């Protein structure tokens, strides 16, 4: 069975690198037209958009700071304008920002982590709901983390808390949007190797220790996450909503 997203219109936030870029590319390969949002990864977002254009898709790179409500709304409106509407919203944008024990954490860091992971998700989703209600197959896909379930590594309590908030947001939103036949599901990746996230915040020895503890005995890949996202964006998942999809190689079970 092959997933066909021809005619679907998607916005992927944080789509210029890593998991976001893989999701944007996979949606395009499956047939969707894709707006690729970025905050800092301009060149990466433009490369993804260009690769999809070469496949015959409509695709555009859009800049914006999603922690600002006005900019988040502008990104959504530009994406919908370029693509002629929206069917799929992938809220991938997020960041650990910095590791810090809670006892030493500044107010500014706590607020920044919440803004980049939770507020950005809220602002973008709120702006997109009207467009998704006009779709015959509205899909919202959120991005949480294994950290929301196990508390994360050292110095990542704020990140874990923010990703736990994303799960609660997704479950509540699924109930709210169910009457509109819009599904809302959340991805919770575990250790995804060879990404800027872990290469920035996890030293090589820590990464090796994490992989050694994965039952499947390998690190996850960005394509592992993208595959689940494509499923959730498709008609195959039309009766799946309010769920958290663990992508962690068996590291954690609900």
Query: What's the confidence (pLDDT) of residue 199?
Result: 64
**Is residue 156 helix, strand or coil?**
coil
166 in a structural domain = yes
98 in a structural domain = yes
- Per-residue pLDDT tens listing for the chain (254 residues): 689 999 999 999 999 999 999 999 999 999 999 999 999 999 999 999 999 999 999 999 999 999 999 999 999 999 999 999 999 999 999 999 999 999 999 999 999 999 999 999 999 999 999 999 999 999 999 999 999 999 998 999 999 999 999 999 999 999 999 999 999 999 999 999 877 666 666 678 778 888 888 999 999 999 999 999 999 999 999 999 999 999 999 998 77
State how many domains the chain has: 1
CATH number at residue 231: 3.40.50.720
35 in a structural domain = yes
Query: What's the confidence (pLDDT) of residue 209?
Result: 84
Query: What's the confidence (pLDDT) of residue 2?
Result: 81
Q: Which residues are catalytic?
A: 159
- Those residues whose C-beta lies under 8 Å from the C-beta of residue 222, and which sit 6 or more positions away, are 18, 19, 21, 22, 192, 194, 195
229 in a structural domain = yes
4 in a structural domain = no
Query: What's the confidence (pLDDT) of residue 198?
Result: 62
Surface-to-core class of residue 55, CB atoms within 10 Å of its CB (0-12 exposed, 13-18 middle, 19+ buried): exposed
Phi, psi angle pair for 189, to nearest 5° = -70, 150
The structure tokens 């037209």 sit at 33
Phi, psi angle pair for 250, to nearest 5° = 90, 10
Domain assignment of residue 88, given as a range: 9-246
254 in a structural domain = no
């Amino acid at each position: 069975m092959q997933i066909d997203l021809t005619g679907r219109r998607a916005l992927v936030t944080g789509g210029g690198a890593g998991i976001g870029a893989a999701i944007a590319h996979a949606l395009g390969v499956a047939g969707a037209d894709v707006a690729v949002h970025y905050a800092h990864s301009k060149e990466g977002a433009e490369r993804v958009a260009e690769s999809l254009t070469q496949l015959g898709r409509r695709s555009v790179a859009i800049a914006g700071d999603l922690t600002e409500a006005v900019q988040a709304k502008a990104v959504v409106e530009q994406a919908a304008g370029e693509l002629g509407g929206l069917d799929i919203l992938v809220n991938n944008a997020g960041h650990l920002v910095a590791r810090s024990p809670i006892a030493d954490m500044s107010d500014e860091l706590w607020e920044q982590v919440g803004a980049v992971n939770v507020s950005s998700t809220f602002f973008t989703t709120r702006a997109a709901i009207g467009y998704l209600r006009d779709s015959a197959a509205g899909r919202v896909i959120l991005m949480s983390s294994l950290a929301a379930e196990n508390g994360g590594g050292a110095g990542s309590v704020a990140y874990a808390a923010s990703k736990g908030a994303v799960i609660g947001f997704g479950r509540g939103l699924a109930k709210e949007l169910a009457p509109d036949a819009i599904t809302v599901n959340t991805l919770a990746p575990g250790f995804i190797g060879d990404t800027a996230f872990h290469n920035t915040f996890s030293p090589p020895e820590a990464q090796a220790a994490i992989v050694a503890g994965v039952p499947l005995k390998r690190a996850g890949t960005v394509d592992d996450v993208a595959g689940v996202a494509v499923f959730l964006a498709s008609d195959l998942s039309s009766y799946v909503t309010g769920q958290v999809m663990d992508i962690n190689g068996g590291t954690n079970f609900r």
